[in-house]
Amino acid sequence: MRARRVGLGFEGGPTRRALPAMMASIVLLTGLAVAALAGADAAIARWQYDLRARLAVEVGAPSAEGADTVVAAALDVLRGSPGVVAAREIAGAEVRALLEPWLGEASEIASLPLPRLIDVELDPGGADAAVLAARLQERVPGARLDDHGRWLDALSRLALAARLLAGGALTLTAIAAVLVIVLTTHAGLAARRDTIEILRLLGAPDRLVARLFQRQILVMSAIGAAGGFALAVAVLLVLYDYLAPLAATYGLPAALPRSMWLALPAVPILAAAAAALACRVTVRRLLGRMP
């Protein structure tokens, strides 16, 4: 109450314009870095899930009758294994349809000796593809399980790299953000050193002086942070609009990841809090030098 009526501070000063603008750009950039990290994470997690949740078992057999027995045995083993949700044979027509884009006209494919395929749906949490492969190998020779091992390896490396990259970018943005916030606040207050000293000489206690400036810094940075946040959300929505048609093709998540929506609002809040904290520390330090 008291602080507001004292009616002091950054009126007309450069800080009044610089701080909100600076906060807005920092929140925008950090917000986008957060979104990139969350988005990359979600896309990769989705790909990994898809790969882990579906396996194919290929049965190559010399004769059609032999193949029937092997397929039946393999289905038996698969259905009796832990973590397997469903296993079914893919009909010949389906296999042809799958191969068609790669091999050409259906009439020609018809004459090829096609492998028999079993589609296995797994519970990604409860199944171990390697164990399943070994078990199949042992009980049903002639059935080969493709566990996407190489894909998953590559994807894990990609995931790690993407996380490091986005995490690194986010860390750097955050460090830059904090530095800029601290320096802008500091500069704004240093320019007001005289005001602080006069308030002190008129008998204002430290906490009143600190509160006075902290409130203003908080209001200014909150305005900037809110603007930056709105801008970040707008950019993300537009970007998502562009990406949506491609999502299905590339197995991207169908919605902006929840982790992002949780992390994004934290950015402006943390940024404004950092400004207020920097203000508090700076004012206290300036006051500390006055007897």
Partner 1 sequence: MTVCHRGTWRWGAEWQRCRGVVRFEGVGMRYGAGPEILRDITVRFEPGSFHFLTGPSGAGKTSLLKLMYLAERASAGTIHLFDRDVGTMSRDERAAVRRQIGVIFRDFRLLDHLTAFDNVVLPLRIFGENEERARTFGSELLRWVGLAEDLDTRPPALSDGQKQRVAIARAVITRPRLLLADEPTGNVDAKQGIRLTHLFQELNRIGTTVVLATHDEAWIERTGHPVLRLNAGRLVPPPAQAEA
117: helix, strand or coil: strand
Applying CB under 8 A, among 11, 65, 105, 138 the residue interacting with partner 1 is 11
Q: Tell me: does residue 65 bind partner 1 (CB under 8 A).
A: no
Q: What is the size of the binding site for partner 1 (CB under 8 A)?
A: 23
> Which of residues 170 and 212 has its CB atom nearest to partner 1 in the complex?
212
Helices in the chain by DSSP H: which ranges?
A: 2-6, 14-53, 64-79, 92-103, 106-110, 129-139, 149-190, 193-201, 206-247, 258-263, 266-288
Each residue 251-290 as x (binds partner 1 by CB under 8 A) or -, in order, gives ---------------------------------------x
Task: Say if residues 282 and 184 touch (Cβ distance below 8 Å).
Answer: no
> Which of residues 84 and 189 has its CB atom nearest to partner 1 in the complex?
189
| Nearest-approach distance from CB 182 to partner 1, in angstroms | 24
d(CA 219, CA 182): 16
> Which of residues 144 and 200 has its CB atom nearest to partner 1 in the complex?
200
Each residue 194-213 as x (binds partner 1 by CB under 8 A) or -, in order, gives xx--xxxxxxxxx-x-----
Virtual torsion, Cα 193, 194, 195, 201, nearest 10 deg: 110
| Nearest-approach distance from CB 249 to partner 1, in angstroms | 60
Applying CB under 8 A, among 8, 155, 174, 267 the residue interacting with partner 1 is 8
| Nearest-approach distance from CB 3 to partner 1, in angstroms | 9
Those residues whose C-beta lies under 8 Å from the C-beta of residue 85, and which sit 6 or more positions away, are 121, 122, 123
> Which of residues 128 and 206 has its CB atom nearest to partner 1 in the complex?
206
d(CA 185, CA 210): 13
d(CA 157, CA 122): 23
| Nearest-approach distance from CB 10 to partner 1, in angstroms | 9
262: helix, strand or coil: helix
Contacts to partner 1 by CB under 8 A: 1-2, 5-8, 11-13, 194-195, 198-206, 208, 290-291
